[in-house]
Amino acid sequence: MSAAIAATMPRAQHRASLRKRLGRVGFSAAVLVLAAIVLLPCIIIVLTAFKPVAEVNAHPPTLAPHHWTLDNFRAIFSDLPFKRLFLNSFLFAGGVTLFALIFDALAAYALARLDFRGNRLLLVVIVASLMIPFQATLIPVYQLVAHLGWVNSIQGMIAPRAADAFGIFFLRQFFISLPRDLDNAARIDGASEFRVFWNIVLPNAMPALLTLGIFTFINNWNDLLWPLVFITDPKLATVTSGLTMLTGPSGIVPFGTMMAGSLVAVAPLAVIFLIVQRRFVESIATTGIK
Amino acid sequence: MKKVMLPLAVAASAVLALSACSGSGSDNTSAAGGDGASKHVSLTFWHGYTEADGKVLDQIVDDFNKSQDQVTITDVTKTWADIGDTLLTSLSAKTGPDLVALPAENLPIYASKGAFQKLDDFYDSDETKGASLNEQAVSMEKVDGSYYGVPTGFVPLSVIYNKKLFAAAGISAFPTTWDEWVADAKKLTKDADGDGTPEQYGLALPDHATVGNGVWPSLFYGGGGGLVDDSGHSVIDSDANVKTLTYWADAVRKDHISPTGLDGVKSDGLFSSGKAAMEIGGPWMAGVAADNKIDYGIAGVPGGSAGPAASAIGISAGVTVQADADQKAAAEKFFAYFFSQDVATKWSLGSGWPPLRTDIPASAVSSNPVVKALTGIAGTARPLLPGVANSVDVLAAVDEATQKALTGGDPAELLKAASATASQALSE
Amino acid sequence: MLPALVILGAFVFWPMLAALRLSFTESSGFGPSRWVGLANYSTIFHDPKILKTLGITAMYAVMFTPTAIIVALLFALVLTNKALIGRGAFRTALFLPFIVSMAVAAFAWSYLLDPQLGLLNYWLSNVGIHLGNVLQDPRLALPTVVVVAVWKSFGFYMVVFIAGLQQIPEDLYEAARIDGAGRWRRFVYVTVPQLSTTFAFVVVFATIAALQAFDQIYVMTGGGPYRHTQTVVAEIYSQGFKKLDLGLASAISYVLLLITLVLSLVQFRFFGRHEKDVVG
């Protein structure tokens, strides 16, 4: 809006801006309603977590609890070793994220910058590996981990995930979009390939690494079958796999307790995303997949 | 360096492939002891007893470990679903359990694929012969003429009912025939707002994935039919079954005594929320009802033209292929202990399931009213598809027929199709 | 670079080769395995039940991919509109379904949709609509599962679109505006072409995800009612882990891999000039 016009037509401008402001509020309110509908299942998770058992199955069903209670939260902390589950989840998801970022970045850099024979083929094979269901490769992977003696260990859970095809593809797209002049200059100065990677490329890749890190962390934190298969020692269970222990005989799920557990389980992820939300979007924008 | 990236990756996988292949051939069983005279054997035991029954089993295992000094069993509590998801994987790398309990109908497929060891010697021993184990329960352990497991639980499906709702409807005695049963269910079905969708149902009758897959077999038995005859052929499309399915489809479709599309878990949910006055359930429903503050009663499944009969839920324990000879012997030692009179009585009382020995008198378990009630109807129990490796496909075929019939399909045609599918599965 | 390749070689490539080898055998994972050549592949093409799972997966993908992309794009457009108050909060909120684990999401949805205990049925029946038991209705079960999958994943694609939209130079819109282009024409002639790389990425990865649909089916329908939601991966799971036929399960996996690969290549070609950037 030009200042000159605003100064010469204050009245009209005022009306227009009022209309605009009302329009903004109306538009925002409409989006709010839409978001509330979309988020209804999430709202149900939260509200059910605070319902007493009798109300969870009440008829007619209700959205909000009549009597708010913390019983479900007390139950999960008394029925499950929640602190240890949390620690394990952080170790597993955090460990996978750390290693996957390092290894993915190295492999992606090689694919993006080094002209070796079979570069393209390797990339196709990496992307193709995303297309085979993990149910098909689970047994060979497990046998390998068992061969290393790593079943029932945190490294056994982490190692098979320590490089992942999606991450390599994602970072490769990012590295391709980085101007080559940056690293060529360093190469001319005689820096080794690793120095170029470590000192020039990696610092520029921080936003992409942040994004990939969050995805990796979320996916592994929420993974169910993986920790169930690799861990039979309850001491090493994660939050997500530990929650299945709430399932009763014949598969009956105590809804209130399960929702309370889920809420506690998802809280760290929500907090992390809330903090980095703005940079998260920015960083996707800078990766080649924009 | 640059030129060797791809070959290196290929080489790395090849080396690992070779080493893993050679590795999987060698025996790396974790717990085998030395060959010394006083060898100590350790066993891991997976089971899915997560409730009060699990605590009693922990106690029994603990007592067994203390009762002698050659064998130590470590039991790991998982859910039954987890065991189904992880047993194959863990056995593929010999990191699974040496001893595992699982739903009895899953035993034949694992046994036929070589996951379990034969236990014929255990059944041949005088001690086992003298234990007078429930023959029906034991029949679930037999595949192709050999025993591959022992029963850790065997119980007929029963009807659990809500006494408060029965009293409100003026019903004083539990029905014993189908006609009485449906009549009572009609009285218990309430549609106050008259919109055609009752708020309270007389019965929660699941039409697929029923508890222990046994609801429809129970009804078929009650109507004089069954699933498979003695020679292993499908009799799913028998006239008796057509009559039974027609009878119950009518009751659901015309009288709305039960919602459609329920599975076993949903039925449990309806009963425990007081929205269904009755359901056919497993013994654990007593505990679930108590947790939900429902005043419940337990009764046998009423009989149709052929009198009362019920499909049984069985749990079996098997010794896996990864156990060595010593571990197998140790497992059998535990089984013998488990079936001894005192322990069998204790297990029955603690788990809420009827005793596995037929020589334990009802009076010995009368302190647990649930066990007492279930023991009273134990004679009606029939094993479900014993020895049928491909039970999954047979039961899926039955589920399709029942689910379609309850939403308006023709029972005779549906059962015919189901029987054809089942016959194919049985011949594989 | 070597460590990454060792890990990929060991835990990605080798298991793929092992699965390929398994697909030519009859194997249960523990007992002995027997070489059967192409028998498993022949089974796939002669078993109408398995072939039907391919059809169901195709239906699933046809419903899921466009829906997820359209919903994600619409939300991305709304959330990048400068008129919206509290854009950051909305972004976080609408990303929430992606953060929740599939098991939990499925529980919440099942609870919402339950015909007897659920809120949605109760609310709708108050206004005279009887939804019935959607997850057990052979016609509605698959669409319902697709709705849940779209709900669960649109947040991810939405964020990708937001990132793409923010990269479009404002002066392109300005120029279009000066040329007298309305909202719709600006969208068609500026936004869509500028987002073509984003579309390529989102379409390919949404399709791959759709063809691998399993989690929500495992938790919500178990493949039912009578196999109407039995996708290929659900079938791979039941053949491998329930019927202990790893050979057949692996063979189906490779058929799926081939189909996906061909489809992805076609999609990249369709998105024309960008194919080089991606796999070319």
pLDDT at B152 over 90: yes
CB distance from A25 to chain C under 8 Å? yes
Q: What is the C-alpha separation between B74 and C273, in angstroms, rounded?
A: 61
Phi and psi (nearest 5°) for B154?
-160, 115
Mean pLDDT of the region C74-101 = 88
Paired strand residues for C107: none
Cβ(A88)–Cβ(A228) below 8 Å: no
- DSSP conformation class of B356: S
pLDDT for the residue numbered B26: 36
A to C CB pairs, distance under 8 Å: 235
CB B330 within 8 A of CB B41: yes
- Please list the pLDDT of chain A residue by residue as tens digits (290 residues): 444 444 555 666 777 788 888 888 999 999 999 999 999 999 999 999 999 887 887 777 888 898 899 999 998 888 888 889 999 999 999 999 999 999 999 899 888 888 788 888 888 888 889 899 988 898 899 989 998 989 889 999 999 999 888 999 888 888 887 778 777 877 788 888 788 888 888 888 887 888 889 889 999 999 988 888 888 887 888 998 888 888 876 677 788 888 999 999 998 898 888 787 767 766 666 554 44
What separation in angstroms does the CA of A216 have from each of A14, B332, C12?
A: 49, 46, 16
- Of the two residues B101 and C111, the one the predictor is more confident about is B101
Q: C278: pLDDT confidence band, cut at 50, 70 and 90?
A: very low
**Of the ranges A144-148, B91-95, B193-197, B221-225, which one carries the lowest mean pLDDT score?**
B193-197
Q: What is the pLDDT of residue C272?
A: 57
For chain A positions 178-207, those within 8 Å of chain C (CB to CB) are: none
Give the per-residue pLDDT at C275. Answer: 41
**Interchain contact, B88 vs C241, CB within 8 Å:** yes
Nearest of B369, B210, B214, B209 to residue B286 by alpha carbon: B369
Is C114 in Cβ contact with B266 (below 8 Å)? yes
Eight-state DSSP code of residue A123? H
Taking CB atoms and an 8 Å limit, are A120 and C280 in contact across chains? yes
- Please report which confidence band the pLDDT of residue B33 belongs to, taking 50, 70 and 90 as the band edges: very low
Domain shared by B298 and B264, yes or no: yes
Residues B205 and B279 in one domain: yes
Would you say how long chain A is, in residues? 290
pLDDT for residue A195: 83
Dihedral over alpha carbons A132, A138, A140, A141 (to 10 degrees): 100
Report d(CA C21, CA C31) in Å as an integer.
16
Q: Establish if B369 belongs to a structural domain.
A: yes
Burial class (CB in 10 A: 0-12, 13-18, 19+), C50: buried
| Cα C73 off chain centre by | 16
- The encoded tokens of residue A113 equal 């910058």
Residue B301 sits in the same domain as residue B194:
yes
Residue with the bigger pLDDT between B268 and B4: it is B268
Average of per-residue pLDDT across B91-100? 92
Name the closest residue on chain B to residue A150, using Cα atoms: B95
Instruction: Check whether C141 has a pLDDT greater than 90.
Output: yes
DSSP state of B200: B
| Confidence tier at C279 by pLDDT (50, 70, 90) | very low
Query: Which pair of tokens denotes residue B83?
Result: 């065991």
Question: What per-residue confidence (pLDDT) applies to B4?
Answer: 44
Identify the CATH class of A77-286. Answer: mainly alpha
CB C165 within 8 A of CB C191: yes
Q: Tell me: do B59 and B127 sit in the same domain.
A: yes
Beta-strand pair B310-319/B278-281: unpaired
Are A61 and C122 a contacting pair at CB < 8 A? Answer: yes
Q: Which two tokens stand for residue B301?
A: 């499944």
The highest-confidence range among A161-165, B92-96, B417-421, C6-10, by mean pLDDT, is B417-421
| C14 with B115: Cβ contact below 8 A | no
Contacts of C115 in chain B (CB under 8 A): 259, 261
Q: Tell which of A56, A143, A196, A255 to mutate to test the B interface (max B CBs under 10 Å).
A: A143
CATH of the domain at B63: 3.40.190.10
DSSP B5-41: HHHHHHHHHHHHHHHHHHHHHS---SS---SSTT--E
Residues B48, B151 within the same domain: yes
Length of chain C: 280
The pLDDT tens digits for A176-201 are 877 787 778 777 888 887 888 888 88
* Listed range (B91-95, C102-106, C126-130) with the worst mean pLDDT: C126-130
Q: SS3 for B315?
A: strand
Q: Cβ of A116 and B4 within 8 Å? A: yes
- B35 in any annotated domain: no
Mark yes or no for CB contact B6/A110 under 8 Å.
Answer: no
Whether B225 maps to a domain, the answer reads: yes
CA distance C34 to chain B (A): 13
Q: Is residue B91 part of a domain?
A: yes
**Residues of C (118-177) whose Cβ lies below 8 Å from A:** 118-119, 122, 151, 159-160, 162-164, 166-167
For the record, the structure tokens of B232 come out as: 């292993």
Domain limits, CATH 1.10.3720.10, in chain A: 77-286
Q: Using the 8-state DSSP alphabet, how is residue B357 labeled?
A: B
Going by C-alpha positions, the residue among A46, B56, B172 that lies closest to residue C93 is A46
Chain C residue whose CA is closest to B106: C242
Just give the CATH number of C47-278.
1.10.3720.10
Is C182 near chain B, with CB under 8 Å?
no
Nearest CA in chain C to B19: C10
B14 or C211: which carries more pLDDT confidence? C211
pLDDT of residue B17: 46
Q: Are residues B214 and B266 in the same domain?
A: yes
Whether residue B421 is found in the same domain as residue B273: yes
Host H or E run for residue A42: helix A40-49
What pLDDT does residue A270 have? 86
Query: What distance in Å separates the CA atoms of residue B93 and residue B104, rounded to the nearest whole number?
Result: 24
Q: Does C258 touch chain B (CB under 8 A)?
A: no
Q: Are residues B180 and B289 in the same domain?
A: yes
How far apart, in whole angstroms, are the C-alpha atoms of residue B419 and residue B399? 12
Using one digit for the tens of pLDDT, what is the confidence trace for C37-49? 999 999 999 999 9
**CA–CA distance, A135 with C250 (Å, rounded to integer):** 9
Distance CA B213, CA B6 (A): 52
Interface contact flag, A59 B7, Cβ < 8 Å: no
As a whole number of angstroms, the distance between CA B417 and CA B423 comes to: 10
What is the share, in percent, of chain A residues with pLDDT greater than 90? 25
pLDDT higher than 80, residue B7: no
Neighbouring CB atoms inside 10 A of A252's CB total 19
Q: Based on the domain organization, do B120 and B163 belong to the same domain?
A: no
- Most distant CA pair in chain C, distance: 74
Percent of chain B with pLDDT over 70: 91
DSSP assignment string, B181-195:
HHHHHHHH-B-TT-S
The residue count of chain B comes to 428
Q: Which residue in the set B114, B392, B404 is minimally distant from C28, CB to CB? A: B114
Cβ within 8 Å, pair B6-A143: no
Is residue B9 domain-resident? no
Tell me the mean pLDDT in the region B416-427. Answer: 93
- Give residue A229's pLDDT: 83
- In degrees rounded to 5, what are phi and psi of residue A148? -80, -5
B345 is a domain residue: yes
Domain range for B363: 41-156+313-378
Select the residue from C244, C246, C248 to test the B interface by mutation, using most B Cβ atoms within 10 A: C244
Instruction: Name residues whose C-beta falls within 8 Å of residue B363's C-beta, 6 or more positions apart in sequence.
Output: none
Asked whether residue B266 is domain-assigned, the answer is yes
Q: Do B166 and B244 belong together in one domain?
A: yes
Q: Three-class SS of residue B163?
A: helix
First-to-last alpha carbon distance for chain A, in angstroms, is: 29
Percentage of chain C beyond pLDDT 90 is 46
Which residue from A minimizes the CA distance to B23? Answer: A147
Q: Quick one: B276 and B319 in the same domain?
A: no
* Closest residue by Cα to residue C206 from C162, C142, C240, C155: C155
Number of domains in chain B: 2
pLDDT in tens, B292-321: 889 999 999 999 999 899 999 999 999 999
* Chain C residues within an 8 Å CB radius of A290: 163-164, 167, 197-198
Question: Over 70: is that where the pLDDT of B120 sits?
Answer: yes
Coil/strand/helix, residue B155: strand
Region C66-78 average pLDDT: 95
With bands split at pLDDT 50, 70 and 90, how would you rate the model's confidence at B46? very high
pTM above 0.90, yes or no: no
